Structure 1
Amino acid sequence: MEMRCYRRLLSISYKEHITNEEVRRRIENAIGPHVDLLTIVRQRKLKWYGHTTRSSGLAKTIMQGVVNGGRRRGRQKKRWEDNIKEWTGLELRNTIRIAEDRKEWKAVVRRSPMRPDGSQT
């Protein structure tokens, strides 16, 4: 969706064979340095995870709860926990312990890879 919006802003037709990297370069020239949409989503998701882990509400109960039964056949859908483990590089029990300390969790969010290729922004 982000690339579609960029291409529309730059009036690039879908028929033109212009790479995403070229589109990103043109956008950066037009508006200056910016943060990718996916990066913003990941940061907010990690921050919200830390926030709910420190709380004692229904969101924490739902997020850390266990449902009886198995999962369906086929490729499994990603869960919140899968994203948190992937982005932080930590096991779930460690993330819960770290998230209890707000300053420590902020440091984890800051140093976690924010782009799909693992590089920082």
Structure 2
Amino acid sequence: MDCKETKSNLQELGMKERQLLKNIKQLKLKYFGHVVRHNNLEKLCLEGAVEGRRGRGRPRRRWTQDISDWLGFSVREASILAQDRDGFRSAVWEATSYKDPP
């Protein structure tokens, strides 16, 4: 196998992986906006308003921590922003758009 072929294959795989991660991030952010705009069981679970105790050990990374990291807002601010669909849509676009490295 030629070294150039291997390098181009790895670059192609890297591009596919980045696109996949971008799609996952975009879908997760869109779902967050959808859930936050409605008052239902999913919203209660997302806010953590479920009774009971957490198990032992290190606290797990929360789903909302990704939302906060990607948008650059607190979850509360993101929830308020999600009420404005157009504003939230542009925030999601900004969070998921990236420039390809040279």
Superposition TM-score, scaled by structure 1 size: 0.63
SS of 1:36's partner is helix
Relative to its length, the structure with more helix (as a share) is 2
The alpha-carbon deviation at position 22 of structure 1 amounts to 5.5
Q: 1:35 to 1:70 in 2, by over 3 A?
A: closer
| RMSD (Å) for aligned C-alpha atoms | 3.1
Q: Does residue 120 of structure 1 match 2:78?
A: no
Identity of aligned residues (%): 27
- Structure 2 distance, partners of 1:89, 1:100, is 17
Q: Does residue 23 of structure 1 match 2:10?
A: yes
Q: 1:27 to 1:54 in 2, by over 3 A?
A: closer
Matched residues, number:
94
- Who is 1:38 aligned against? 21
Q: Decide which of 99, 103, 106 is 2:82's aligned counterpart.
A: 99
The alpha-carbon deviation at position 72 of structure 1 amounts to 3.0
Q: Decide which of 57, 71, 91 is 1:73's aligned counterpart.
A: 57
Structure 1 stretches lacking a partner, 5+ long: 1-11, 13-17
- Structure 2 distance, partners of 1:105, 1:34, is 25
- Who is 1:63 aligned against? 46
The amino acid of 2:79's aligned partner reads I
Q: Decide which of 37, 43, 49 is 2:32's aligned counterpart.
A: 49
- Structure 2 distance, partners of 1:38, 1:26, is 12
The alpha-carbon deviation at position 58 of structure 1 amounts to 1.5
